[in-house]
Amino acid sequence: MEIRIEKNPNPAQKPTDESKLGFGRVFTDHMFVMDWYKGKGWEDARIIPFGNLSVHPASTVFHYAVEIFEGLKAYRAADGSIRLFRPIENARRLNNSAIRMAMPTIPEEDIVQAIETLVTIDKDWVPHEDGTSLYIRPFMMGDDEHLGVHGISHARFMIILSPSGAYYPEGMAPVKIMIEDEDVRAVRGGTGFTKCGGNYAASLRAGDRAEEKGFTQVLWLDGVERKYIEEVGAMNIMFKINGKVVTPELNGSILPGITRKSILELLRKNGIEAEERKISIDEVMECAENGSLEEVWGCGTAAVVSPVGWLAFEDKMFCINNGEIGELTQKLYDELTAIQWGKKEDPFGWTYTLVEG
Ligand code: PLP
Ligand code: COI
């Protein structure tokens, strides 16, 4: 794919204190944009100065939420080099989301090339401080300029970059999670397995309610029986029960997380049994009560591995591992981040150097 590059003549001041970055608030100097027209395909791949878009008020994205996105990171290693973690998996998932949402797919290698080219141009924005990274946000929007409800004939694919620190303000510390018993996030046959914006919009009310009560995020139950554990707002969830790891199976309504997949591979390589199956809220409560629920953690690109210290359901509150980071949770965080930041050899071939140090 040929990418036209227009350099930003007015580069912004880079953040001086990387410990205060937060998540997704600061953006780099450039963005990737490409247009798709029905009957013509993708065209005009370009990297241009970061800035506001001009979008028609009738655009499909505003009215019918025709939008999908991805999230991955570029990591700065100790020698200054910049590394990527499994971008092909994000490319594949973007296309799976696109198919569900009747949006156009993009050749996987073009998605990866666009990411690599943009990160290379804005390489000086990849932060250096421990635990920081450059969050990469590819997204696609339907952009037909009329109000009929139809499959789209114009899409825009874009990538923006955001130097970021920890997703949760508490960092790698046990979070409080509220199990949602009113709203549901997704149903089978719906869009739960995609990263479409609408899934997140529909989750905000429950998230706000949980935050008001002092919780970090909600844990969703299945949309039909409201009985089986699904996932957290921005992470998949794993339980350690009697020495074994259990995580909800991919059933079409949860996001097939790349961190989830990587952790399952890590666990199995280390000889730790990991089951992907249905797990009911009743089972979790029973295990919490009889002491066999040893650890709980969430996992995702933004949140990495996030220990869960407290789980609330209806009027019950369960404290897990005395509200402390579990041993396996810590080990998984350490091993995964060591591979991502190039502190340790990567036996899986998940990472590669994009820019030499
Ligand atoms: N589940 C949801 C709803 C998410 O938003 C995310 C974050 O992307 C995840 C799970 C974890 O997915 P990944 O590990 O690919 O980031
Ligand atoms: C991610 O982990 O990449 C996410 O997209 C989670 C959230 C910021 C939506």
Residue 188: per-residue pLDDT: 84
Q: Bigger pLDDT: 166 or 150?
A: 150
Exposure string of 318-347, with b = 16+ CB inside 10 Å and e = fewer, is bebbeeebbebbbebbebbbebbbbeeeee
- pLDDT greater than 90 at residue 10: yes
Tell me the three state secondary structure of residue 319.
strand
Neighbours of 3 (CB within 10 A): 16
Tell me the three state secondary structure of residue 240.
strand
Q: For ligand 2, atom 7, name the residue with the nearest CA.
A: 234
Confidence of residue 161 (pLDDT cuts 50, 70, 90): very high
Ligand 1 center to 193 CA (angstroms): 10
Closest ligand to C-alpha of residue 137 is 2
Confidence of residue 351 (pLDDT cuts 50, 70, 90): very high
Q: For ligand 2, atom 5, name the residue with the nearest CA.
A: 71
What DSSP string runs through 121-163?
HTGGGS--STT-EEEEEEEEEE--SS---S--SEEEEEEEEEE
Neighbours of 34 (CB within 10 A): 22
- pLDDT greater than 90 at residue 169: no
Of 238, 255, 333, 337, best ligand 1 pocket probe by most atoms within 8 Å of the beta carbon: 255
For the chain, percent of residues with pLDDT exceeding 70: 100
- pLDDT greater than 80 at residue 168: no
For residue 258, the ligand 1 atom closest to its alpha carbon is 15
Closest ligand to C-alpha of residue 235 is 1
Of 236, 238, 253, best ligand 1 pocket probe by most atoms within 8 Å of the beta carbon: 236
The number of C-alpha atoms within 13 Å of 54 and in the hemisphere containing its C-beta is 0
Q: For ligand 2, atom 6, name the residue with the nearest CA.
A: 234
Q: For ligand 1, atom 4, name the residue with the nearest CA.
A: 234
Give the binding-site residues of ligand 1, using a 6 Å CB cut-off.
71, 231, 234-236, 255, 257-260, 300-301
- Residue 163 corresponds to which tokens in the numbers above? 């130097």
- Mean pLDDT, all residues of the chain: 96
Which burial class, exposed, middle or buried, applies to 17 when counting CB atoms under 10 A from its CB (0-12, 13-18, 19+)?
exposed
Ligand 2 center to 303 CA (angstroms): 8
Q: What angle do CA 307, 308, 314 make, to 5 degrees?
A: 170
Closest ligand to C-alpha of residue 199 is 1
Q: What is the dihedral of CA 356, 2, 139, 18, to 10 degrees?
A: 30
Confidence of residue 128 (pLDDT cuts 50, 70, 90): very high
Q: For ligand 1, atom 12, name the residue with the nearest CA.
A: 257
- Give the residue from 197, 35, 235 showing the smallest Cα distance to 101: 197
Ligand 2 center to 302 CA (angstroms): 5
For residue 234, the ligand 2 atom closest to its alpha carbon is 6
Looking at residues 235-259, what average pLDDT do you find? 97
Tens of pLDDT, residue by residue over 46-57, are 999 999 999 999
Report d(CA 124, CA 170) in Å as an integer: 27
Tens of pLDDT, residue by residue over 55-92, are 999 999 999 999 999 999 999 999 999 999 999 999 99
Give the binding-site residues of ligand 2, using a 6 Å CB cut-off.
71, 234, 300-302
- pLDDT greater than 90 at residue 309: yes
Looking at residues 179-191, what average pLDDT do you find? 93
- pLDDT greater than 90 at residue 14: yes
Check residue 321 and give left, alpha or beta (phi > 0: left; psi -120 to 50: alpha).
left
- Give the residue from 222, 320, 220, 235 showing the smallest Cα distance to 278: 222
- pLDDT greater than 90 at residue 170: no
Confidence of residue 172 (pLDDT cuts 50, 70, 90): confident
Looking at residues 316-336, what average pLDDT do you find? 96
Q: For ligand 1, atom 10, name the residue with the nearest CA.
A: 235
Q: Crossing angle for the helix pair 87-100 and 258-269, nearest 10 degrees?
A: 130
Of 258, 301, 306, best ligand 2 pocket probe by most atoms within 8 Å of the beta carbon: 301
